[in-house]
Amino acid sequence: MTDQQSQAHAGEAQTAQADMSGVTEKQMRRMRRFDNPWRNPKLMWGVGILLGIVAMGILGRIFWDPDLVFVGSAMPRQAPYGFENLRGQEGLLAHPLGTDGSGRDMLAAIIIGAPNSLFVGLLASLVGMSVGIVLGFTAGFVRGRTDDVIRVLSDVMITIPPLLILVVFQAAYGDVTLTMMALLIACFVWQSPTRLIRAQVLSMRESGYVQMARLSGASTSHIMFREMLPNLVPYLFGSFIANVTTSIVTAVGLEVLGLGPQRIPTLGRTIYEAINAGALIQNLWWWWGLPTLLLAVMFIGLLLINLGLDEVSNPRLRKL
């Protein structure tokens, strides 16, 4: 009887050990996914969406005629392939996404317009982040009157409505290029990264590794850009993505008002022309719906990148 009980206890112990080893293996597999936090699924999906839009702009010009984006390239108001327009005409395979009221191919307009809209957001955010990094580090590390001037300047700029200023400027100046439009928007997106970096630098400047760098005789630029900047990379990327979203929204808002580039196809310009021609009340849904859908996909990609960067910078958000 004792031998049977011993064997039973041994069997139960082995079963429990096997279960524990199975659970441990499962947990270990899940933990291995986050050994490299930059391999975040949300981050990778978001980057993939944006790279897909860029690839569409590059490869689309090879596989589709970009000259179809000009006025009069095809019969106007054709429905997408498989649909009918108000005249009962079926869409043609030669123009799979239909045409607008001026005879421009919608597929060509999206292939050229989507990367242009993304370019404005990326350039404006890149310039704004560059200014924010310099001013934020200077304010947080130097402090004193320099900090007061930069902080007051950023606070004043935040109170100014950027869209109103841009509307007045573009209405007075006239037609602008994509680069000029991005630089104008960049004048109003540097405040947020400046405040973020300043706050982080103020909390890091008294840390142990910064004090050790000072005692070792490291220069101010070395401490700022070699010791402190690498620790701010996730926050900088998050601020950069937020500024890209803000810049695209601002650019599309200006273009929908008819104040963006006049002869350069963008998603906002296409929506403006659709609204101006009454596409909403004429049920020409593909004219305004397709660029709006692509903008939504672009914003979803940016949102996924932002969420992924939050999980990279904050390990508590990572789920095992």
Secondary structure class of 36 (helix, strand, coil): coil
Please say if the pLDDT value at position 255 is more than 80. yes
First CA to last CA distance, the chain = 45
Alpha-carbon distance of 140 to 158, in angstroms, equals 19
pLDDT level of residue 316 (50, 70, 90 thresholds) = low
Which pLDDT tens digit goes with each residue over 146-177? Answer: 888 998 898 888 888 777 787 787 777 777 88
Which pLDDT tens digit goes with each residue over 71-99? Answer: 877 888 888 988 887 777 888 888 899 88
DSSP H/E element including 96: none
The amino acid occupying position 215 is: L
Which residues, including other chains, have CB under 8 Å from residue 307's CB and lie 6 or more apart? Answer: 42, 43, 46
Alpha-carbon distance of 168 to 23, in angstroms, equals 63
Pick among 3.40.50.10260, 1.10.3720.10, 3.30.70.1250, 3.20.20.70: CATH of 53-317: 1.10.3720.10
Please give the model's pTM, rounded to 2 decimal places.
Answer: 0.81
Secondary structure class of 71 (helix, strand, coil): coil
pLDDT of residue 61: 87
Tokens in use for 76?
Answer: 């106007």
Q: What are the beta bridge partners of residue 30? A: none
- The mean pLDDT of the chain is 81
pLDDT level of residue 300 (50, 70, 90 thresholds) = very high
Domain positions in the chain: 53-317
Which pLDDT tens digit goes with each residue over 4-18? Answer: 545 444 555 454 444
Tokens in use for 267?
Answer: 């998603």
Please say if the pLDDT value at position 25 is more than 60. no
pLDDT of residue 49: 94
99, 75 Cβ separation under 8 angstroms: yes
Please say if the pLDDT value at position 222 is more than 90. no
The pLDDT of 139-152, averaged and rounded, is: 86
Other beta carbons less than 10 A from residue 263's beta carbon: 7
